[in-house]
């Protein structure tokens, strides 16, 4: 017996555009489509409430790639790809700030700092700072990296770190709220609790089938499911990558502020308001085990990151966590996003490579360029 009401199905019915995924990328892509074509019906579908996957589960770093991370990226791809990706992230943050405003998204221009645990690691990165600055100066006309003194932070790290003056922190919930409000204001319809199971594409439309038995006919589809994309398109080069995050209880005044990177960007931490520290990452401990969509936290990562805080960040202090969660990123050796037509009526905007906060506004602008080119307007 069909338990879907006539009214539910009528209300759902048809749309000119359906965007799958109400994360930062899906919502901003939907906004750009609706802004460009105000008369069309744009519907966003998400299986979870509040963009459960990554957009409300990240660390809120407005970052583009620390020096160590850039060198790692160059080793995995090449300098051209790595600089191109850095530029997309940098432009993405500028677009976010321009579109929503620094205050509204809680942006703090604190800068970011990369810390090192061994002299060898520090030496390798610091030796490349001026070459990296040269490679990146075309992006923003300033030095991306400056060697800095870590002693005032009282961390148990090598005394020289690398400061990234252009980075900062955002308040993730404020950014998500601003992006969602914009979509609603423009007239985008957002439906949660809608898991897209699959679709059939014809010459004229796409028929999407939900896990709950409902269906919707769309003129065109944009897939913004990032780390979950393999469930819909199994052979696409986007692997799920879980990121685990922990937030301490409130502590005494901390001897540092801002955002920090360590271990080629695999570990990240920041001071949150209220003297708490957010710490996350460590995926390089177990790449295979973390290639999962299962959003749990594990004892292995909890104790690894707790120990890092107690021995490196706040040496000699005991920390207790009050919050812990995980989210799923869309990853590949090449962390450049995939944006473009997958078929005649299905467009992709996926694979944010772990920095989709930074990339999201840039990606949404690319989506609308792809759409305009296809529609000829
Ligand atoms: C722990 C962690 C820390 C991070 N820290 C940072 C950071 O500091 N800075 C930074 O720039 N980036 C960071 N990121 C990455 C950033 O959060 C993501 O790249 C970004 O949020 C991706 O946005 P998105 O919209 O592409 O995907 P998501 O936010 O993952 O949204 C995808 C949506 O698709 C929905 N969905 C999936 N499949 C279906 C389906 N079949 N039907 C319906 N809905 C579906 C999901 O429910 C989800 O809401 C972090 C990520 C994690 C996990």
CA distances (Å), 377 to each of 37, 305, 333, 368, 372, in order? 10, 50, 35, 10, 5
Please state the pTM of the whole predicted model.
0.97
CB 217 within 8 A of CB 17: no
Average pLDDT, integer, range 21-40: 97
Residue 104, pLDDT score: 98
Angle at 275 between CA 272 and CA 281, to 5 degrees: 45
Q: Locate all alpha helices (DSSP H) within the chain, ordered by sequence.
A: 6-12, 24-36, 67-76, 79-100, 119-126, 129-140, 172-186, 299-308, 356-375
Residue 141, pLDDT score: 92
Measured by CA distance, the residue closest to atom 22 of ligand 1 is: 356
Residue 255, pLDDT score: 84
Is the pLDDT assigned to residue 287 strictly greater than 70? yes
Average pLDDT, integer, range 329-346: 95
Tens-digit pLDDT profile for residues 298-326: 999 999 999 999 999 999 999 999 999 99
What is the percent of the chain where pLDDT is above 90?
Answer: 89
Q: Locate all alpha helices (DSSP H) within 248-355, ordered by sequence.
A: 299-308
Residue 9, pLDDT score: 81
Reduced to 3 states, what is the DSSP secondary structure of residue 316? coil
What structural domains does the chain harbor? 12-56+174-237+335-375 (3.50.50.60), 111-166+239-331 (3.30.9.10)
Average pLDDT, integer, range 347-363: 97
Measured by CA distance, the residue closest to atom 18 of ligand 1 is: 356
Reduced to 3 states, what is the DSSP secondary structure of residue 128? coil
Residue 194, pLDDT score: 94
Average pLDDT, integer, range 156-179: 97
In the reported structure, the alpha carbon of residue 139 is separated from the centroid of ligand 1 by a whole-number distance in angstroms of 26
Q: What is the mean pLDDT of the chain?
A: 95
Which long-range contacts does 214-217 make (Cβ < 8 Å, 24+ apart)? 214/4, 214/8, 214/9, 214/12, 215/9, 215/12, 216/12, 216/13, 216/14, 216/15, 216/18, 216/43, 216/45, 217/13, 217/14, 217/15
- DSSP bridge pairs for 368: none
What is the per-residue DSSP string for 192-224?
ES--EEEEEE-SS-EEEEETTS-EEEEEEEEE-
Closest CA to 239 of 301, 199, 282, 287: 287
Average pLDDT, integer, range 148-175: 97
- Please give the Cα distance from 114 to 69 (Å, whole number): 9
3-state percent breakdown (helix, strand, coil) of the chain, nearest 5: 35, 25, 35
Phi and psi torsions of 261, nearest 5° = -120, 150
Residue 333, pLDDT score: 87
Residue 6, pLDDT score: 84
Reduced to 3 states, what is the DSSP secondary structure of residue 163? strand
CB 317 within 8 A of CB 327: no
Tens-digit pLDDT profile for residues 222-265: 999 999 999 999 999 999 999 999 999 999 888 888 999 999 99
Residue 377, pLDDT score: 76
CB 216 within 8 A of CB 12: yes
Task: Count Cβ atoms within 10 A of the Cβ of residue 368 and give its class: 0-12 exposed, 13-18 middle, 19 or more buried.
Answer: middle
Residue 273, pLDDT score: 81
Range in 50-59, 85-94, 154-163 the model is least confident about: 50-59
- Please give the Cα distance from 329 to 257 (Å, whole number): 26
Residue 2, pLDDT score: 65
In the reported structure, the alpha carbon of residue 350 is separated from the centroid of ligand 1 by a whole-number distance in angstroms of 10
Best mutation site among 49, 272, 335, 357 for ligand 1, i.e. most ligand atoms within 8 A of its Cβ?
357
Measured by CA distance, the residue closest to atom 21 of ligand 1 is: 55
- Please give the Cα distance from 340 to 325 (Å, whole number): 32
Range in 58-62, 176-180, 333-337 the model is least confident about: 333-337
Residues in the ligand 1 pocket, defined by CB under 6 Å = 20-26, 45-48, 51-55, 57-61, 194-196, 224-228, 231-232, 243, 245, 280, 327, 329, 352, 354-358, 360
Residue 51, pLDDT score: 59
Radius of gyration (Cα) for the chain, nearest Å?
Answer: 21
Average pLDDT, integer, range 20-24: 97
Furthest C-alpha separation in the chain: 69
Is the pLDDT assigned to residue 375 strictly greater than 90? no
pLDDT-based confidence at residue 52 (cuts at 50, 70, 90): low
Residue 67, pLDDT score: 97
Residue 43, pLDDT score: 97
What is the percent of the chain where pLDDT is above 70?
Answer: 99
DSSP state of 250: P
In the reported structure, the alpha carbon of residue 146 is separated from the centroid of ligand 1 by a whole-number distance in angstroms of 31
Phi and psi torsions of 90, nearest 5° = -60, -50
In the reported structure, the alpha carbon of residue 75 is separated from the centroid of ligand 1 by a whole-number distance in angstroms of 26
Residue 1, pLDDT score: 59
In the reported structure, the alpha carbon of residue 337 is separated from the centroid of ligand 1 by a whole-number distance in angstroms of 13
In the reported structure, the alpha carbon of residue 121 is separated from the centroid of ligand 1 by a whole-number distance in angstroms of 31
Q: How many CA atoms lie within 13 A of 123 on its CB side?
A: 3
């Amino acid at each position: 017996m069909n338990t879907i009401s006539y009214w539910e199905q009528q209300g759902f019915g048809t749309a000119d555009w359906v965007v799958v995924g109400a994360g930062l990328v899906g919502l901003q892509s939907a906004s750009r489509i609706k802004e460009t074509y105000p008369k069309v019906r744009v519907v966003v579908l998400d299986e979870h409430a509040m963009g459960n996957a990554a957009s409300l589960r990240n660390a809120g770093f407005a970052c583009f790639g620390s020096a160590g991370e850039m060198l790692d990226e160059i080793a995995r791809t090449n300098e051209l790809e790595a600089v191109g990706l850095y530029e997309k992230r940098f432009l993405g943050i500028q677009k976010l700030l321009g579109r929503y405003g620094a205050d509204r998204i809680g942006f703090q221009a604190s800068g970011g700092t990369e810390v090192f645990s061994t002299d060898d690691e520090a030496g390798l990165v610091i030796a490349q700072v001026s070459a990296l600055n040269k490679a990146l100066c075309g992006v923003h006309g300033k030095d991306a990296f400056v060697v800095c003194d870590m002693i005032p932070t009282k961390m148990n790290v090598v005394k020289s770190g690398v400061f990234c003056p252009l980075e900062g922190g955002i308040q993730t919930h404020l950014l998500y709220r601003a992006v969602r409000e914009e979509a609603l204001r423009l007239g985008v319809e957002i439906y949660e609790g809608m898991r897209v199971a699959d679709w059939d594409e014809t010459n004229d439309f796409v028929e999407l089938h939900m896990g709950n038995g409902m269906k919707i006919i769309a003129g065109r589809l944009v897939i913004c499911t990032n780390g979950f994309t393999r469930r819909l398109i199994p052979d696409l080069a986007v692997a799920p990558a879980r990121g685990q995050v922990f937030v301490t209880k409130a502590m005494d005044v901390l001897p540092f502020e801002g955002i920090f990177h360590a271990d080629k960007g695999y570990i990240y931490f920041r001071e949150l308001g209220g003297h708490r520290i957010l710490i996350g990452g460590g995926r390089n401990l177990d790449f295979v085990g973390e290639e999962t969509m299962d959003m749990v936290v594990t004892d292995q990562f909890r104790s690894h990151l707790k120990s890092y805080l107690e021995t490196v960040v706040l040496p000699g202090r005991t920390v207790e966590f009050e919050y812990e969660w995980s989210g799923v990123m869309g990853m590949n050796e090449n962390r450049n996003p995939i944006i473009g037509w997958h078929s005649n009526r299905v467009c992709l905007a996926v694979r944010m490579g772990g920095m989709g906060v930074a990339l999201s506004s840039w990606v949404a602008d690319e989506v609308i360029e792809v759409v305009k080119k296809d529609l000829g307007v």
